[in-house]
Structure 1
Amino acid sequence: MSGRQRDVDLPGAPSGAAVRDVVASDEEWLVTAGAPSAPDVPGARGSSDESGGRVAVDPVKALMHRHRELCDRAVDPLEIAAGLEAHGVTDRTVARFRHRDVFSLAEEIYARVPRDGETSPGVPAVKLPKAQASWAVLALLPGAVCAAAVTGLRLTEARPHLAATVAVLGVLAIALSLRLALGRGPLHTPHAWRTTKGTRAWTCWLLAYALLGDGLLGSALTGGPHGWPNGDLDSPWPVPLASLTALTLSCAPAAWCAHLFAVRARRRLAAGRTLKEFAASVRPLLLGVFGLFLCALGGLLALCGTLLDEPADPAAYAGIGALGALLLLARLLTVHGFRHAPAVVLAAAGAAEVTAVASVFAGRLPGCSFLAVPIETVVGAWGPGVVPTLACGAAALVLLVHATRTLARASAHAHHGGTP
């Protein structure tokens, strides 16, 4: 029986009346499907009044029919609770069924669903994501490959042609290692939730701008670009090798932070008894994990800058930190099934960087010098790194506010088959 076609006897309706093709929300449907609302409803479901007419149906059974696919594939009551909440069922609505919250209703539904090979409808333990050596090692791979590529560039900087070959091979190796790292573990997205081509394209642009954008913008403001980008700090177009290395090394703390968030959220989902209680406990967890990642990324930036003997550039470091925060939040939302907001925000951040660079070149046209004035003023005050800092920082702030709302839902943490 589908969710849009049901045969339910309504209280007070003529005998044999049916409800078909109802397009209202679950909360409205639960009220019209026979959920008891008066305090003096007889204890037996489906009881009859003095005239012999049917007063109420079994509302829980009707709900099970409406969400039959969810109930059949659920591995624990928490997944049913998450699914009900995703369909608009609230604690206020559940009170009509003489249940204190969505969790207790989900436990009854789970106990009443027949399953082969089970002798008792006991509630199983919550399945928590487990840390595995495979994805833990793969998360370290991008940073290791990038460190090797940077070392090769430093060793071949006196031979430009060989250095160019090392740079091309290094970029390809880093891209492959990133694909492997994101293909498994807590940062892996299920097949149905994979990012779109547009999202991947804007992500690649943001990473490319982190590598070459500051040098390109700074050179454009001085009448360039001149020459080719390289790792020489005295070059008019330098490449921030320390920032790039730190960003790739941050894949490991990002994976561990995502794993920590998933495990703690599932535990709090098991311990919570109301949706509000669960949401109130998950928001501080999300903010704490997000802050932990920022601290790890900041430490990696300082460490790589020291090892590669690059002077600290607060604006550039802030831009890399904002980019890392944006990518982590976008990946967390995508992993938990929310793809639209990350796609829009990543596109907005990338478009802002494109506009900044394009406005400088457009300002060279006759009569269009005013187009470059805002960027010239901002960059003259804080340096080229202020552009990714503002673009990615604002985008990350928007995603953080969105994540505190969406990732605090029980439906965001339901078990989804092969999802780690």
Structure 2
Amino acid sequence: MKREDGTGAAVDAPPSPAAESLPGSGAPGHGAADPVKALMHRHHDLCARAVDPLEIAAGLEAHGLTDRAAGRYRHRDVFSLAEEMYARVPRDDDAEGALSGAGTGVRHEPAAPPGWALFALLPGAACAATVAAAPRMGEGAARSAVVLGGALAVALALRCALRRGPLRVTPRRAPATRAWVCWLLAYGLLGDALLRDAVSGGPDGLGDLGEPDVAPVLALTSAVAPAALCARLLAAGAGRRLAASRGLDEFAASVRPLVLGVVTLFLGAFAGLLAAVRALPGASGAWLAGAGALGALLFLARLLAVHGFRRAPALLLAVAGACEATALALVFAGRLPGCDVLAAPVTAAVDSWGPGVVPAAACGAAALVLLVHAARTLTLASAHARSGTAP
């Protein structure tokens, strides 16, 4: 039977307590002389590649072993069981010292790549430069060239920022997930204007959309820096708590306020950025709720993906994007003969709360679900003690 571990990989589910007591199962039944040896044999690969006991504890937790189940192996918690397993695995002392850093048996937090903070600032700087330069070019080819060049610079800066430092995801996201993220960003730039014109009977052409509101995109690109900082704070704080904890329940209780605090810190910083760009000339402010919900959704999705939880973020990004696309499709479908009822819900919502209600509802609901998911999964030791990954 398969289950998903903390990194999103399929692993063998742990046997039930009843199955562990069956003869020949290799589990700690009443007659087992050395139950830990049987467990080490079952998880040989995990023990062989472990850099420190914390990694074994995280792996056991990912396989479903709890502190209560550790009692069947004559230990009070998973951490003490992992320490015995680590001590009994034959290894070369020199190689152990090189891997652990100081020979203490505690794996140090991997250092972030040099310059990650500078890379995190580049997307916001590139977007701000483009927004400042485009109006000075007037109309015509010069302005189009500046806008296209600025968009390319922002894309390259985002690529560098997301592939270096605390926001790096390994392996990379699936093309479908990247496509939904691009759609959500494009909707944040043009979707509200298109929906507003569609409800009022337009648009007759692209020229009827008017100038896109670049303020939310400027806030989102500038938010990469606080997002990277918050991800780094979570990785460092969780690493310290993991080293100090003596049980999985103790670690979960200590890291849960950290997770919620990091999310709150990012939301506060992002709210400040939204307020700053709201003061720019020409910023309407109708996009404020939708942009805030989109920023929260993207941050939570990236944070979960960084720690190995990719399925839920990918699903909810797709759901949010599909909701926005469906709202637009329903308005245009309502123009068909006899199909007025299709557009009625969206039209009523836009008339009452404005076009920003669609991204606010779609992205806000998805972000709320991801927040609940993060509060549960990012408190697992296996989310913070994966070998070979930089936080």
Aligned to 1:242: 215
Structure with greater helix percent: 2
Spell out the pairing of 1:287-298 with structure 2 (5 A cutoff).
287-298=260-271
Spell out the pairing of 1:2-401 with structure 2 (5 A cutoff).
25-26=14-15, 28=17, 30-32=20-22, 33=25, 55-118=31-94, 123-156=104-137, 158-191=138-171, 194-226=172-204, 228=206, 237-306=210-279, 308-311=280-283, 313=285, 315-401=286-372
Distance 1:310 1:281 in 2: 45
**Contact 1:107-1:123 at 8 Å conserved across structures:** no
Gaps of 5+ in 1: 4-22, 39-54, 230-234
The alpha-carbon distance between structure 1 residues 24 and 281, as it changes in their structure 2 partners (threshold 3 A), is closer
Distance 1:112 1:30 in 2: 22
- Deviation of 1:113 after TM superposition, in Å, equals 1.2
Q: Point out the structure with max Rg over C-alpha.
A: 1
The alpha-carbon distance between structure 1 residues 288 and 24, as it changes in their structure 2 partners (threshold 3 A), is closer
Aligned to 2:5: none
Instruction: Compare 65-74 and 111-120 and name the one that shifted more.
Output: 111-120
**Contact 1:149-1:170 at 8 Å conserved across structures:** yes
Distance 2:168 2:176 in 1: 18
Count of matched residue positions in the alignment of Structure 1 and Structure 2: 373
**Contact 2:112-2:390 at 8 Å conserved across structures:** no
TM-score (norm 1): 0.83
Q: Which amino acid aligns with 1:182?
A: L
Q: Which amino acid aligns with 1:358?
A: A
**Contact 2:67-2:247 at 8 Å conserved across structures:** yes
Aligned to 2:100: none
**Contact 2:54-2:106 at 8 Å conserved across structures:** no
Distance 1:252 1:31 in 2: 52
Aligned to 2:373: 402
Distance 2:75 2:367 in 1: 39
Q: Which amino acid aligns with 1:56?
A: A
Distance 1:389 1:334 in 2: 23
- Deviation of 1:130 after TM superposition, in Å, equals 3.1
- Percent sequence identity over matched residues? 60
**Contact 1:129-1:262 at 8 Å conserved across structures:** no
Q: Which amino acid aligns with 1:292?
A: L
**Contact 2:28-2:38 at 8 Å conserved across structures:** no
Distance 1:24 1:79 in 2: 18
- Deviation of 1:331 after TM superposition, in Å, equals 0.9
TM-score (norm 2): 0.89
Gaps of 5+ in 2: 3-11, 98-102
